[in-house]
Each structure stands twice: as C-alpha cells, then as structure tokens.
Structure 1
Amino acid sequence: MTTVQQPSTKQDILHHLLKQGQSTVQELAEQLHVSPQGIRRHLKDLEADGLIVHQVIQTGMGRPNYSYTLSQAGRDRFPDRYDDFAVSLLDTLAATVGADQMGSILRKQWERKALEYRDRLGNGSLKERVDQLVALRLAEGYMAECHPVDVNGATVEQGDRFILTEYNCAISHIAESFPSVCGHELEMFAAALDCKVERTHWLVNGEHRCGYLIQPK
C-alpha cells in the first residue's frame, strides 16, 4: 500500500479534507493547483490506504460526481488524542470517587488551565490574545486557526469578533467518555480571554470541526 510520509500532495489533500469536511476532485484540483488527473491518482492511493472514503453525487442524467471525506483512520493521522492510559486513569478515578466528585475534579482542572492560558496570553488587544491562544493550541496538537467575523461580506473592525476553529480534538478519547469536558473547555476560553465565547460547531455532534465565536462581553 502507498503511505503518506513526507509533506506532499497527498498530505495537502488530507489537510484540505480535514478543514473542509468534504471536497470533489475539481475542488481539490483548484485549491491545490494540481491537475484533476493527478488528484484522482492521489485519491485512489489514499482510498486504498483507507484514509479517505467517497460518496456518489448524482446531478441529473450525466456522469455521477464523487465527494471525498476523511475516514476515521484518516483523521487519526492528525494529533487528536492523549494516550489510552490517560482515559483509563480517568475511568478508574471516576469509579473510585463517584460522578459528582469527578465533575468537580474536571472543573478544577479546566479552571487551572484557564489561569495558565490567561497568564500566557498577556494584556494585549483581543486580536493579539486570540492569536496567542491559537499559537498555544497549535503547540498542544490542535489544528487551530482564527479569523475575524465576516458580516455581509465585509470584515468587521479589527479586534471586535473572531471565529476560532479547531479541526481536530487533542482530547477526543476523553471527550467521548466525559462529554462535560467540552463545556469546561468553552468556559476555559471565556475565562482565559475575558470574553464571551459561544460554540458554533462541534466535532462531538458529527461536524468536521469545532468552532467558537469570540467577542467582547
């Protein structure tokens, strides 16, 4: 089987699918500046490796089109989980102390993380703090980015409102066993940035990314 090792068109395809959720051959060709024939060859290899899957898009009576998405194995190519030991440890802790105490422990952990973030984000503008948060999340294994909110085709004033997007989850295994951590993460961002933070997209709900609207209180 073909494997993806060095940065390559195949890696670019995987990154694009991670960010967009799904794409056709033509969309990939246009975005990556590679011929459709070349894209098809790479997609064939990636599908043979089990890293992507396709579905048929029937539009009228003509030749069907195909839309490609990452398989679970494809998503696993990106840093998206702690060691199984961490999940096992939390399971043991939950069985030992009970659900209520476990909830309190998780909350204290996120409060501690929020204080750490807040100290490292500094006292700059909201944009500067958001940019620094993205850098911290990238260092922790998240594929994160942030953009100013676009309102009716016009970007709002710098430093006003932002969308933070994370295309993978570095604690996905933990979130599966302890869904409350996602709520604590939302609170953590709000406390660290001293802002209002709302969830716009959620991997746990089957979407291909987590999204957060960040704006002043």
Structure 2
Amino acid sequence: MSDRFGDASGNFAVSLLDTLAETVGHDQFKSILEKQWQRKAKEYRDRVGNGSLRERVANLVELRKAEGFMAEYHAVDVNDSFESDRFILMEHNCAISNVAESFPSICGHELEMFAAVLPDCTVERTHWIIDGEHRCGYLVQIRH
C-alpha cells in the first residue's frame, strides 16, 4: 500500500537521517546508528529469552512481525530424533526499505543485531532485497 499512496514516514526518516549525517559527520553518524542497533538488540535479547534455538527464532520472528516485517522461519536439515540447530529466517518485505535503500549500512547493523540477540549462533545473510532479491534471508545456526 505504501507504494501506491506514498510513505510519508519512510520519506521523513530518510530526510531526517540525511540531515543528521550532514550535520554530525560520517563518524558520528555511524556511531549513532550503531548505538541504535545496540539498543534494539538489547530489547530483542530481553524479549527473545533463553529457550531452545527454535523457541528463540520463533520469538524473534514474532517481534519482527510486530514491527511490520512479513517474517517466517523453517528448520534446515531437521532429523526427527534431534532438535534442529539450523534455521532459515526469512523476511518477505522490508519495513525499513526507504531507509535501507538510502543507507544500506543499516542492513549490516541489522545482521549484527541478529547475531547479538542469538550470541551462541552464527547468523549469515543468504538473501538481500537491496541486491534485487525478493526477500531478506538469514541462516541461523548454533556455533559448535
């Protein structure tokens, strides 16, 4: 719907970030973005909890859905006798696409945030909307 009717909040966010970047300079702007994602990672970590990896990924998906992302996950290499330790997290839209197109480094912070929320895991980007893919995807797996 935002494509059809415009996205004033997204355009405002991009304009505000442009102004901020011009005002404070590159290094300070980078620091501000990092601080924002650290705060978001702490909030997510507190809300995701300490359950199994499946439970934590499911909780993360629910948080992302609440923020406007069409998110889902599925297990990779699941064996009936074992809990999977690998999941694909998919986001079929980008709730921050206007900002991400103008400031692609935000996507890197998002990847770092997921890794901080799941500190016993590696998180690797498998798909990226900014690169022309139809979704963003992340492989989440327990670090052995």
| TM score, norm. by length of structure 2 | 0.89
Preserved CA contact (<8 Å) 1:164 1:211 = yes
- Evaluate the alpha carbon distance shift between residue 82 and residue 143 of structure 1 in structure 2; reply closer, same or farther with a 3 A threshold: farther
- Moved segments of 4+, more than 2 Å: 80-83, 155-159
Specify the alignment match of 1:103 in structure 2.
Answer: 30
Specify the alignment match of 2:44 in structure 1.
Answer: 117
Specify the alignment match of 1:88 in structure 2.
Answer: 15
Q: What stretches of structure 2 of length at least 5 have no aligned partner?
A: none
Q: Distance in 1 between matches of 2:139 and 2:51?
A: 19
Specify the alignment match of 1:213 in structure 2.
Answer: 139
Give the CA RMSD over aligned residues. Answer: 1.9
Specify the alignment match of 1:160 in structure 2.
Answer: 85
Q: Distance in 2 between matches of 1:199 and 1:114?
A: 17
- Evaluate the alpha carbon distance shift between residue 98 and residue 186 of structure 1 in structure 2; reply closer, same or farther with a 3 A threshold: same
Output one character per residue of 1:140-198: Cα deviation in whole Å (capped at 9) or x when no partner: 00000000014xxxx24424100000011011111111111100100000101112100
| Percent identity between the two aligned chains | 70
What letter matches 1:185 in structure 2? E
| TM score, norm. by length of structure 1 | 0.60
Output one character per residue of 1:56-94: Cα deviation in whole Å (capped at 9) or x when no partner: xxxxxxxxxxxxxxxxx7x847xx995321111111100
Q: Distance in 2 between matches of 1:82 and 1:124?
A: 35
Q: Distance in 2 between matches of 1:211 and 1:88?
A: 27
Specify the alignment match of 1:40 in structure 2.
Answer: none
Preserved CA contact (<8 Å) 2:44 2:60 = yes
- Whether 2:54 is the aligned partner of 1:127: answer yes
- Whether 2:116 is the aligned partner of 1:191: answer yes
Preserved CA contact (<8 Å) 2:76 2:84 = no
Q: Secondary structure at the match of 1:101?
A: helix
- Structure possessing the higher radius of gyration over alpha carbons: 1
- Whether 2:127 is the aligned partner of 1:201: answer yes
Deviation at 1:112, TM superposition (A): 0.7
What letter matches 1:112 in structure 2? R
Q: What stretches of structure 1 of length at least 5 have no aligned partner?
A: 1-72
- Evaluate the alpha carbon distance shift between residue 82 and residue 148 of structure 1 in structure 2; reply closer, same or farther with a 3 A threshold: farther
Aligned residues between the structures = 138
